[in-house]
Structure 1
Amino acid sequence: MTPRFSPFKVAPDLIKALVGFETAIAAGGLEHSLGELVKLRASQINGCAFCIHMHAKDARSQGETEMRIIMLNAWRDSPLYTDRERAALAWTESLTKIAETGAPDADYELVKSQFSEAEIIDLTMMIGAINVWNRMQIAARGVHPVQPPVAVA
């Protein structure tokens, strides 16, 4: 894959603004581990290899288990996720696929059962931000870092 452009070089002020937006969202207090699952799931739905790589790596570095990362695409059928995580993941899918879902009341009621109104706003903004990053990286044909293969003994 050949990158098309580098948003970090071409539009540093816009990137800085988006990073600032995410910093403000993070200050809202949602669990970092939950945020990584949300960002990873939205990136899976959107097919953004750059962001999948980044958020899987970030989740691992924060102590997330390999199995929960692997099973994330099938979270509805796995007992590995808490009710709060399930509500956030359902809301993530609903908003990431908003043209298909229209953000149904059932998904809102589920998220409302686990999050305060302020947390719902933070979560919704987080989902919006990762969708912007996904679209930017897909449009730019951003290439994730590649580590050399590890030799098997």
Structure 2
Amino acid sequence: MEKRVNLGKAAPELYQTVITLDRQAGEYAASAGIADGFVHLLRLRASQLNQCAYCVRLHTRDALASGESSDRISVLPAWRETQYFDEKEQAALALCEAVTMIADGQVPDSVYAQAAAALSNEEIAAVEWLCVVINAWNRIAIPSRYPVKA
């Protein structure tokens, strides 16, 4: 594989801006009452959809460290088929997936309505910001080919 430009090293000031935005999004999620472990599951789910191996590994480890169970992490790609996630978490996961896959039908009204029925405006904003930021991270890591070695 040819060597890629590492975006973080090429423009460290921009990279630092994303770090700051990530921290702020996490703080906003905490103030909205979203559990730290579930924050990592949202980041993990978006990273799975984007096939960002670096971020999948990172947020799996972070989710485990924050107390998420290996069962919830394992079934995350098939969360709709499980009873591991409550109504609010299901709405948040659906919204995160829609934001991540925005080119595929935007954020459908049905997904937003489900979120609005289960989540407060602050929770919706927190989920959306988390997903915006993790999608930015995925778009930094993937073209830079961040290494994922065993």
TM-score (norm 2): 0.90
Match for residue 103 of structure 2 among 93, 99, 102: 99
Equivalent residue number for residue 149 of structure 1: none
The amino acid of 1:53's aligned partner reads R
The amino acid of 1:123's aligned partner reads V
After TM superposition, the structure 1 = structure 2 runs for residues 4-153 of structure 1, keeping only pairs within 5 Å, are 4-28=4-28, 29=30, 30-146=34-150
- Conservation of the 8 A alpha-carbon contact between 2:38 and 2:63: no
State the structure with more CA Rg: 1
Residue segments in structure 2 that go unaligned for 5+ positions in a row? none
Whole-angstrom CA distance in 1 between matches of 2:92 and 2:111: 9
Deviation, structure 1 residue 62: 0.8
Whole-angstrom CA distance in 2 between matches of 1:9 and 1:103: 33
The amino acid of 2:50's aligned partner reads N
Identity of aligned residues (%): 34
* SS in structure 2 at match of 1:23: helix
Whole-angstrom CA distance in 1 between matches of 2:38 and 2:3: 30
Deviation, structure 1 residue 144: 2.6
Deviations 1:93-132 (A, max 9, x none): 1111111122111111111122211221121111011111
The amino acid of 1:21's aligned partner reads L
Residue segments in structure 1 that go unaligned for 5+ positions in a row? 147-153
* SS in structure 2 at match of 1:27: helix
Whole-angstrom CA distance in 2 between matches of 1:104 and 1:135: 23
TM-score (norm 1): 0.89
Question: Residues 73 and 66 of structure 1: is their aligned pair in 2 closer, same or farther, counting only changes over 3 Å?
Answer: same
The amino acid of 2:78's aligned partner reads A
